[in-house]
Structure 1
Amino acid sequence: MHPLIELRGVGRHYRLGAIDVPALDEVNLSIQAGEFVAVIGQSGSGKSTLMNVLGCLDNPTVGQFLIDGQDASQLGPDELAGLRRERFGFIFQRYHLLPHMDARANAALPAVYAGASGSARRERAEALLTRLGLGERMHHKPNELSGGQQQRVSIARSLMNGGQIILADEPTGALDSQSGTEMLALLRELNERGHTIILVTHDAHVASHARRIIELKDGKVLKDSGTPADHRLPGPLAGETAGLARGSWWGRQQMQWREALQSAVQSLQGNRLRTALSMLGISIGIAAVVSILALTSAARGSIEKDVGSFLSGRIPVFRGNANLPPGTQAQAFRPSEIEAIRALPGVKAVTVERETQLTARHGSRDAMVSVLGAEAQTLASRKLKLVEGRYLNAMDFAGSAQVAVIDEKARKSLFKPGESALGRTLLVAPQGMPSDGGAGGGGMGGGAAAVPVGVALPLTIVGVVAPDTGGAVNFGSWLGQVLMPHTTFGRKLDVRVDADQFNVLLDFTVPPAEVRKQLTYRLKALHGIEDFDSWNADEEFRKFQQVTGAMALLFAGVGAISLLVGGVGVMNIMLVSVSERTREIGIRMAVGARQGDVRLQFLVEAVVLCCLGGTVGVFLSWLGAQGINAAQDSLKVEVSWAALGVAFAVSSFVGLVFGTLPARRAAALSPVDALARE
């Protein structure tokens, strides 16, 4: 039967600049299962290097290192981690316990990487600690334990997964004489239970407790007392020192994620100020992106709603065409032509609005206003709503009544604050209006018949309207508006029957593009030339949406710059964290953590940090939105659940991207180098 451990010509060399330093030189050695071996030598003799090679913490430069016949010198980092996890237990001179874990959690750590269930780990750790006299101290942190107690915790940890081979590196070096004696007694007891003990020490008295002594000098085996003649191979380990049942692959994955999450939370709690500063960068970035998206979404939604409502289902048609030959006079639209358009399939109605600018007066106040010949649908087409009084009714249209509805702008210009406009008489006339009702007048332009000179048209105000667009977009004249019945407008102000512009309202039974095509064809046939123009409001609205969408992306990109800065800050913090926690990484690797386990731990920590920052950022955005909504009512800003989901997704992505480099750097550390750092 082959030895449990065998070294064949093993050498371990280090480079110091151009100098090659052999820490181990052509070491040949074999150790049987169940031996109690002491490796002794002065400082610099190579005993610690030999222990690192034997424990799969370091690879030899030359030679073969076999465990149960398997050449460990040819294994990769994760395969070596598997050997450490399944075969070895380590007892270090400085204990190497994780300070943020209690005794039970430290003892149970190797079982985490073996995939054991939480209950199995706890039961096993409690049994081992009780067996070692720490039953009442298992919930204490390392700084609450004495040196001897900490060393007992490290023994429990070495036995967690079975610990067939226990490597003890100067286990009594940091203990008082009594604790040292107790430690050696425990090692003898473990050896009697079947564990292979390899004790590294420089103290000959400590080495005398072993049954075999190997002396090193200058990296070579100087003396070896050999395997005792009466040595017998041990049977299977039993009782508290037996191996822990291995968990399934899925169980191991669950344990790894849980351990990574717990470690991340503990690390962030242990460095609250640094965590807060790191979160601040991510919070500002997320708040900037979410706030900009919320603001642009609210503004875009309000504008598109108003514009879409105004444009949807309309095809404006107007006199004139930029492509007409020079000198060609565009024809106005006759009533018969408008009736022909009304008869087209897909046309719901055709509205004609006549408009001109006049001077309006009430009392001593006058102002230029836009006077409209309104129809029943004018309020909807102009995006106006009635706020006081009534709108023009069928009797007003049928009787050509001299009544009017004015908008808020006209009321502010013509009436005093708080003064009611309902029932008052408004005088309208072209150009300036003489105070005595005498001379005045002038043409109305656009072919409209002027009010006779010296005569002003009186209109009784029956209602007041205001924009119905939420304040984001107002459609209509820059001047105040006065809406009078189109029949009155035609009799008193503009006697023409032809129109320069009309709107085609669609019922969507026919595609708008097809309606526009048929409209163009019919008008061209009636006029003999295409001396008119039109446009599809729905197509123009889609172009408008593309523009607003591009603007929203641009603003979001500006906000994302701050998120990028925050991500770089997280990466820097994580790199600092790796350098500060190098020894912790080494401990985890020594008890069996794979490179993937270490990467996962630091990636999860970066993601948790960024997600916490994202949550704070969303909350800040929500507070900002509430402040904006409280300060005004024309634009409602909301931070939706979708924004929360996007924030978490973006935060996680930032954590993954900027946590990858620190995680890879942590996973690439050599266990032996990591353990050597403080």
Structure 2
Amino acid sequence: MSALIKLDDIRKSFHNGDLSVEVLHGISLEIQSGEFVAIIGASGSGKSTLMNILGCLDNPSSGQYLLDGEDVADLDADELAGLRRRTFGFIFQNYNLIPTASAQENVEVPAIYAGMSLHERQARAEELLTTLNLAERLDHRPNQLSGGQQQRVSIARALMNGGRIILADEPTGALDSKSGDDVMALLRAMHAQGHTIIVITHSREVAEQADRLIEIKDGHILSDTNKIEIAAANHATALPQSFGQRDTKSMIRFNDFTESVKMALRALRANLFRTILTLLGIFIGVSSVVAMLAIGGGAQKSILEQINAMGSDLLLIRPGMANFRGSGGIATLIPEDATAIEQLPNVKSAVPETSSSVTLRYGNVDYQSAVTGTVPAFATSKSWKMEQGDFINNHDLDTYAPVIVLGSTVADTLFTNGENPLGKYILVQKIPFQVIGVLAEKGAGFGGNDQDDIAIVPLTTGNLRLFGQRHVRNITVQVENDALIDATQDHIQALLNERHKRQDTMITNMSSIRDAVTETSNTLTIFLGSIAAISLLVGGIGVMNIMLVSVTERTREIGVRMATGARRSDILMQFITEALVVSSIGGLLGVVFGLGVAAAAEAMGLTIQYSLAPVILAFGSAFATGLIFGYLPARKASRLLPAVALSSE
């Protein structure tokens, strides 16, 4: 019958720069299924290196290793992980339990990577620990267990997936005599059940309890003594097939994201303060993105609403700057210009305006405000509704009627105690005007100026009785079709140039202003978002640094997971998941806080625009940050050799 393990001229060298040291010098041996073998040697003899090669934790420099007739050299890293998972069980001198996991969770680790269901592996782990007299210690962590109890947990873990071959590295080295005897008794019991037991030890007393003793010194086998003949076939059939040699092709690949998250939370909880500091960078970045984009979007919305309230389909015509002389101006624009402009295509209305600051009086109240002389189309072009009463009409314009329409601020100032202003007479520059209407409130305009601090009179009346002039200060043109506003602007400019025999006017396109404001606001929003993104980037670098530290601190744990069957992709997933969990928690908290800051700003009177896009952007960025900055540390962890990781201090 072919040997379970066959080594042929196995050599192992370690390199340190140009220096190469050979530790194993042509080891050849065979181990049959069901044997109880002790490999004994002093410290530095090469016995631990030999164990690492036997357990597929390390690769020989040369020679051939056949396991059950299969050349181990032909297997890649994942196939070796599968071999360890379904064939080997490891018992270490220092137990190598995961400190953040309970006894039951430590025992479950090999089954997780084997794809065993949660219920099945919990039941299996509980059964094994109960058999080893640890039924009352299932929820205890390693630091709550004695040395002997920890070693029994390690033995249960070795048996979790069947453990056809048990490799015990100095299993009694860290135990007292009583606990050491108990462990050796367990190993003999496992041997009786059909497990192949290989004990690595420096103790002659421990080695003498095995059926076969192999002595190694300076990388050479000195002796190989069999005490009894091994009935290999009888031992092999005693193994529990339900948990023993599983077909790797039928195994479920470890891809339970929920399990990854649970392990990540457990690891992060173990270093809570450091985790909080890592969260802080992501938290600040995400909350900044959410708050700044909400406030920036609100500011843009407010400005655009003000422009739209004024009318985005408007053209504002004023005297050219060379002819503009303050409030008095010169006779560049006249009411007839507005009448001529109204005849052009695509012109809905042309509203001439003249304004001046005057003193208004009602009773004992004097108030300084702006009075505008205009025409009936003013209210329509400005999209200004009436609160009460009527706006001026063509009859008022034709008859030079002394009537006035008040803005809400002027009305509230002159008429206190809720007195109705309609029908009342007020003095405008000591001239009586009858109030015929009150405009609806508009609020603050550009620069925070009060748009409701205004009074409207017929243009004819104002020019004759208040302003003492015939020309107008500006003409506001409303177009029919916004899409043709640029062409209409050109036609108006050409008309005025022809009427005035020169170009002495300038036209402001409100649509262009809106576009310019939108572009400026977008640029500002991007700028604010970029500043916040820098905070997020800094947070991402923090995640990477912390994960690198975590990989360094948990190198031995990584080795244990690999020894129990974790593939490189499993280790990669675990550490990436930890980075994603940190980033996701920080992202969620940042979103909540950012929305809270936006709500506080809204309560203080700022216009805020809530939208889903910034929230998705910020949280998505946090998630991507965790993925990107967590990848390199995770990759570093997954590339470690099991033997190297296990030897880490």
Q: TM-score w.r.t. structure 2 length?
A: 0.86
- 8 Å CA contact retained: 1:12, 1:62: yes
**Which residue in 1 is equivalent to 2:648?**
677
**1:243 to 2:244 alignment:** yes
Equivalent of 1:457 in 431, 435, 449: 431
Matched, 1:40 2:40: yes
Output aligned runs, 1:177-576, within 5 Å. Answer: 177-225=177-225, 229-233=229-233, 234-236=235-237, 238-239=239-240, 242-243=243-244, 251-255=252-256, 257-318=257-318, 332=333, 335=336, 338=338, 341-342=341-342, 346-358=346-358, 369-379=369-379, 381-382=381-382, 390-394=389-393, 400-407=400-407, 422=421, 426-429=426-429, 456-461=430-435, 468-469=442-443, 481-493=454-466, 501-508=474-481, 511-513=484-486, 515-516=488-489, 533-576=506-549
Q: Distance in 2 between matches of 1:533 and 1:472?
A: 21
Separation of aligned partners in 2, 1:613 and 1:41: 52
Separation of aligned partners in 2, 1:506 and 1:416: 37
Structure 2 CA distance for partners of 1:520 and 1:246, relative to 1, 3 Å: farther
Whether the aligned pair in 1 keeps the contact of 2:313 and 2:511 (CA below 8 Å) is yes
Residue number among 608, 611, 616 corresponding to 2:584 in the alignment:
611
CA contact (8 A) 1:115 1:248 kept: no
- On the 8 A contact 1:621/1:639 being kept in 2, the answer is no
AA at the equivalent of 1:484: V
Secondary structure at the aligned position of 2:34 is classed as coil
Rate the CA distance shift 1:283–1:232 in 2: closer, same or farther, 3 A: closer
Change (3 A) 1:258 1:369: closer
Name the CA shift for 1:517/1:248 in 2 (closer, same or farther; >3 Å).
farther
| Deviation of 1:416 (Å) | 11
Query: Residue 658 of structure 1 aligns with which residue?
Result: 629
1:620 aligns with 2:593: yes
Q: Is 2:35–2:230's contact at 8 Å kept on the other side of the alignment?
A: no
Q: CA deviation at 1:127?
A: 3.0
The alpha-carbon distance between structure 1 residues 100 and 168, as it changes in their structure 2 partners (threshold 3 A), is: same
Tell me what 2:326 maps to: none
Contact 2:286 2:619 survives alignment (8 Å) = no
- Indicate the SS of the match to 2:10: strand
Change (3 A) 1:141 1:631: same
Judge conservation of contact 1:303–1:473 (CA < 8 Å) in 2: no
1:242-294 Cα distance to aligned partner (Å, 9 max, x none)? 32767988953442x22321111112222222222222222222222222112
C-alpha displacement of 1:369: 4.4
Distance 2:119 2:248 in 1: 12
Quote the Cα distance in structure 1 between the aligned partners of 2:238 and 2:567: 26
Supply the distance in 2 between the matched residues of 1:249 and 1:537 (Cα, whole angstroms). Answer: 71
Q: Which moved more, 1:171-180 or 1:93-102?
A: 171-180
Q: Say if 1:594 and 1:380 are closer, same or farther in 2 by CA, change over 3 A.
A: farther
Shift of 1:659: 1.7
- Write the letter of the residue equivalent to 1:676: S
Between stretches 283-292 and 499-508, larger displacement belongs to 499-508
Q: Deviations over 1:162-203 (max 9, x none)?
A: 222211111122233333333223323323333222111111
What is the alpha-carbon root mean square deviation over aligned residues? 3.7
State the secondary structure of the residue aligned to 1:7. strand
Q: CA contact under 8 A between 1:40 and 1:204: conserved in structure 2?
A: yes
- Cα deviation digits, residues 545-564 of structure 1 (max 9, x gap): 11110011111212222222
C-alpha change, 1:352 and 1:180, in structure 2 (3 Å) is same
Residue 352 (structure 1) shift: 2.7
SS in 2 for 1:225: strand
Conservation of the 8 A alpha-carbon contact between 1:383 and 1:468 = no
* Matching of residues 86-105 of structure 1 within 5 Å: 86-105=86-105
Q: Cα offset for 1:110?
A: 0.9
Q: Deviations over 1:402-456 (max 9, x none)?
A: 23234467679x8699897947755445xxxxxxxxxxxxxxxxxxxxxxxxxx5
Distance, in Å, in 2 between the alignment partners of 1:238 and 1:56 is 21
Secondary structure, in 3 states, of the residue corresponding to 2:137?
Answer: coil
Q: Does 1:578 align with 2:551?
A: yes
Please tell me whether the aligned partners of residues 13 and 61 of structure 1 are also in contact (alpha carbons under 8 angstroms).
Answer: yes
| C-alpha spacing 1:10/1:238, structure 2 compared with 1 (3 Å) | closer
Per the alignment, residue 55 of structure 1 pairs with 55
Tell me the alpha carbon deviations over residues 549-595 of structure 1, each in whole angstroms, 9 at most, x when there is no partner. Answer: 00111112122222222222222222222222222111111111122
Report the AA paired with residue 56 of structure 2.
C
* Cα distance in 2 for residues equivalent to 1:85 and 1:351: 87
2:11 matched to 1:11? yes
Distance 1:534 1:132, change over 3 A: same
Question: Are the equivalent residues in 1 in contact too, given 2:32–2:232 (CA < 8 A)?
Answer: no
Gaps of 5+ in 1: 324-328, 430-455
Count of residues in Structure 1 that have an aligned counterpart in Structure 2: 640
Instruction: State the alpha-carbon separation in 2 of the partners of residues 108 and 4 from structure 1.
Output: 27
Percent sequence identity is 40
Q: 1:235 to 1:253 in 2, by over 3 A?
A: closer
| 8 Å contact from structure 2 (residues 268, 275) kept in 1 | yes
Q: Is residue 4–residue 32 contact of structure 2 (8 Å, CA) maintained in 1?
A: yes
Q: CA deviation at 1:608?
A: 1.2
Cα separation, partners in 2 of 1:642 and 1:250, compared to 1, 3 Å:
farther
Output the CA distance in 1 between the equivalents of 2:562 and 2:446: 62
C-alpha distance in 2 between matches for 1:247 and 1:105: 23
User: Are 1:645 and 2:645 matched, yes or no?
Assistant: no
Q: Which moved more, 1:26-35 or 1:460-469?
A: 460-469
- What residue is the counterpart of 1:440 in the other structure? none
Whether the aligned pair in 2 keeps the contact of 1:286 and 1:647 (CA below 8 Å) is: yes
Instruction: Find the residue that maps to 1:609 and give its secondary structure.
Output: helix
Structure 1: how far apart are the matches of 2:583 and 2:446?
36
What is the match of residue 574 of structure 2? 601
